[in-house]
Structure 1
Amino acid sequence: MHIRTFRAANLQAALAEIRRQMGPTASVLHTRQVRDGWLGWLGRTHVEVTAGMSDEFPASEIPVSTTASPADPMALEPTGIDARDPSSDVSIRLRTDSSDDLPASLEVYRSELLQLGVPHSIAARWISSTASFQATLGDHSSPLTWAEPLQQTVARNIKIAGPIRTRPGHRHVVALVGPTGVGKTTTIAKLAAGFRIEARRQLGLLTIDTYRIAAVQQLKAYSQIMDLPMEVVEDPGDMQAALERLGDVDLVLIDTAGRSPRSDARIEQLVSYLDAAKPDEIHLVLSATSGLDSILTTLNGFSPARPDAMILTKMDETPHSATVLAALEQSATSDRGNGRSLPLSYVTHGQQVPDDIGIADADALAQQMFPSAVSRQHLEAA
């Protein structure tokens, strides 16, 4: 792959020159704003764009230099970087497909997504789908801000399971599974408080997390505060008897011990408890602070438990949702995600019981794609 870095007064000029010199197959790899002058002071701001072209094009067809117009000292200036040696520019790792018809401001969003850790294939898919959908609306002019169309594209790809549904007089058993430290016990308490106080359901709590004494004590404290029956199960053979001892309740919430998704033996042990409990629903709990690799590993590792939905926790501890949403989308096609795209049921955003939990909302999650409104304004101004 041949890599060139261009400088121009603005992004639109840079992209136009890239397409003129490198053709429509060129890929935008990286963009940034830089300022001339001493330590960035007293200089002019301009845009630096790194673009790449496949090695299948002869090197002789790639212009090696261009002359700035005397009338425009800020005309495009290729820096002459040749990335046939991949070490010449780290941005080669951010390669994405490029489209001739993408608006310049939308290209900037793609660069931002890549910097946030979104895989290039998913970033390209989101961006191209946004542009295509906008074109189908019959309005060929670019919107004043691409933030909303992009968020709508991502939201359409988020599957939502909806909340746990119960009926008075019909026992519904729900188990929460997941790695250590994602907040399963606290989430159990939030769900229990919501169904007890707001939905006025009869509940029972059950835990198989006997590996951590603190976990049993924590759940027992919640059960006492909410005046709920609770059972501790240490062997799968005791599961049915424990469920019966909970009595005639509308909902049973089962807390499980955190398992490493890489430990087949521990996952098999978890499955034996679940087989004994025969839950109506199994929710996989994931932390929104986890990276893409960790989420895919978790989805694959817990696939033997056959989860029906996912709960995202710690949304208040992550600056943006772009990476986790990309991981959920990639899980549908990745072998490590086991080819399953699980829907989201709940999202938690703090430690307060029962306040900091809500039913998953695709639009709300997509609106948190970027770190802040300031970041979005910066993108639109580029």
Structure 2
Amino acid sequence: MKIKKYLVRDMREAMQRIKEDMGPDAVILASRKVRGRGILGLFRPRRLEVTAALDEPRETAKVAAKPEPEAAHTASRRTYSRAAPELQFALADEDGRPPAVTQPRQWDKLSVHQELHEMKSLLNRLTSYNSAFAAGEGFFNRWEQFLTENEIDKEIITDIMKTLRDQIDPSDVKRYDRARLCVQNEIMNLVAPAYSDQDLGHVVAFVGPTGVGKTTTLAKLAAQYTLFHGKSTAVVTLDTYRIGAVEQLQIYADIMGVPLEVANTPSQLKDAVARHRNKDFVFVDTAGRPSHESSKITEIKTYLDSIDEPVQVLLCLSCNTKQRDLLRVLTDFSQLNYSALVFTKLDETEATGSILNLIRYSGIPVTHITNGQNMPDDIEVLYPKKLAKLLTRGAGLDA
């Protein structure tokens, strides 16, 4: 039996090297995590030492044909009669005495029993290891399935799973907590570059496709800043197309105690913003536009360009929209130079991976999420840590 040890980064590398070196018939006997030798080894990450074995077949001697019993007996007597004197002389001791008959040695039997015992022990260890390896793969497979069901992109899942396999020992009793923290850290690292600056500007415009909840989102955010943070706000709406849009917003404005103005032309919007220059925030509500109607989006741009100061544009998207359509909306509304995204209707879907996908794809942060109809409570500021917790919520994978 050929036995060899391998020092590798993970079990995947071990399986590949063993197969290349010893062939597909090799088996894994044991594995353990070790550090490098010497003082420098203390500061290096632990590696995996894997012991593998290959049972090499022994050559079997050819068995001679068995002679006829009577012929063999006669031949042996004749041969012994002729050769006996010479054999006795050759095998005799120096003093001429014939040699003593040698009895079978007891340690030969013990050696066989010991070898059988060692083989049985190796088989038991191999069975135990294979069971543990299968359980570990099951643990990782459940995590991969959870991320897939959350509709996270395959490329992102591949990056997360590589880190998970490198850092988590599936036999650890705390593997679930450690794995969840590992996945959360990986998500935060993926989106961190997009979250360099989340502060709202003085003028904030809400844009997006029809029906995503722009007006409700604006009202919730205005109420949060007015009622909970003591900020002075004003609201200007351009949405005079939708029936009841102005009346709906007027009700919200009256409840909050903030002024509401209606702008039917770019110049009216410019003047309205100028009148509220002393306010902390001026929130601008725009009409919903189908993303494929570029002329309608250009019309909104004309309004926003009339304002004499920088405008922060928030693109509102719905969580229950297919990712293919979300990517198209990003492209169609790009002429408005939006600087942040807002995801609405989280309460209407179980899969929230599209939030992570769009941040990774566009490099633009998602600053807020809405998750219900309650005014003004069902809106939250979103930052990397909260996003990571949101995406791992309900990950009951320790079963």
TM-score bracket, normalised by the shorter chain, equals 0.5 to 0.7
TM-score for both structures, normalised by structure 1? 0.63
Specify every segment of 5 or more residues in structure 2 that has no aligned partner in the other structure, as ranges: 1-11, 21-123, 125-129
Indicate the residue corresponding to 2:285 in structure 1.
255
- Kindly tell me: are residues 221 and 131 of structure 1, through their superposed partners in 2, closer, same or farther at Cα, counting changes over 3 Å? same
C-alpha contact (below 8 Å) 1:162/1:344 kept by paired residues: no
1:218 to 248, 266, 271: 248
C-alpha contact (below 8 Å) 2:292/2:332 kept by paired residues: yes
Alpha-carbon separation, structure 1, partners of 2:267 and 2:331? 27
1:125 to 144, 155, 159: 159
AA partner of residue 271 (structure 1): K
Indicate the residue corresponding to 2:76 in structure 1.
none
C-alpha contact (below 8 Å) 1:160/1:360 kept by paired residues: no
2:213 to 158, 165, 183: 183
Q: How well do the aligned residues superpose, as a CA RMSD in angstroms?
A: 3.6
Indicate the residue corresponding to 1:358 in structure 2.
380
**Post-superposition CA distance 1:152-178 (Å, at most 9, x none):** 211222243665457xxxxx1111111
**Post-superposition CA distance 1:104-159 (Å, at most 9, x none):** 22233223323443332221122223445x38xxx897661122211221122224
Alpha-carbon separation, structure 1, partners of 2:249 and 2:198? 22
C-alpha contact (below 8 Å) 1:321/1:365 kept by paired residues: no
Indicate the residue corresponding to 1:202 in structure 2.
232
Indicate the residue corresponding to 1:232 in structure 2.
262
Indicate the residue corresponding to 1:106 in structure 2.
140
TM-score for both structures, normalised by structure 2? 0.60
- Kindly tell me: are residues 112 and 256 of structure 1, through their superposed partners in 2, closer, same or farther at Cα, counting changes over 3 Å? same
AA partner of residue 112 (structure 1): F
1:286 equivalent to 2:320? Answer no
Q: What fraction of aligned residue pairs are identical, expressed as a percent? A: 31
- C-alpha displacement of 1:293: 1.2
* SS of residue matched to 1:354: coil
Higher helix share: 2
1:328 to 341, 349, 359: 359
* SS of residue matched to 2:175: coil
Indicate the residue corresponding to 1:319 in structure 2.
350
- Kindly tell me: are residues 256 and 161 of structure 1, through their superposed partners in 2, closer, same or farther at Cα, counting changes over 3 Å? farther
- Kindly tell me: are residues 22 and 276 of structure 1, through their superposed partners in 2, closer, same or farther at Cα, counting changes over 3 Å? farther
- Kindly tell me: are residues 347 and 21 of structure 1, through their superposed partners in 2, closer, same or farther at Cα, counting changes over 3 Å? same
- Kindly tell me: are residues 371 and 249 of structure 1, through their superposed partners in 2, closer, same or farther at Cα, counting changes over 3 Å? closer
C-alpha contact (below 8 Å) 1:291/1:324 kept by paired residues: no
- Kindly tell me: are residues 369 and 140 of structure 1, through their superposed partners in 2, closer, same or farther at Cα, counting changes over 3 Å? closer
Alignment of 1:1-382 (within 5 A): 104=137, 105-132=139-166, 134=167, 144-145=175-176, 146-158=179-191, 159-160=194-195, 164-165=199-200, 172-246=202-276, 248-277=278-307, 278-329=309-360, 331=361, 340-369=362-391, 372=394, 376-377=395-396, 379-381=397-399
AA partner of residue 364 (structure 1): K
- Kindly tell me: are residues 117 and 216 of structure 1, through their superposed partners in 2, closer, same or farther at Cα, counting changes over 3 Å? same
Alpha-carbon separation, structure 2, partners of 1:173 and 1:154? 31
- C-alpha displacement of 1:204: 1.0
**Post-superposition CA distance 1:292-338 (Å, at most 9, x none):** 21221111111111111111222222213223322332x2xxxxxxx
- C-alpha displacement of 1:363: 2.3
* SS of residue matched to 2:235: strand
C-alpha contact (below 8 Å) 2:150/2:352 kept by paired residues: no
- Kindly tell me: are residues 115 and 247 of structure 1, through their superposed partners in 2, closer, same or farther at Cα, counting changes over 3 Å? closer
Alpha-carbon separation, structure 1, partners of 2:259 and 2:218? 14
C-alpha contact (below 8 Å) 2:239/2:286 kept by paired residues: yes
How many pairs were matched up?
Answer: 274
**Post-superposition CA distance 1:241-292 (Å, at most 9, x none):** 2223446322100011112222211111111111113443111111222222
* SS of residue matched to 2:367: strand
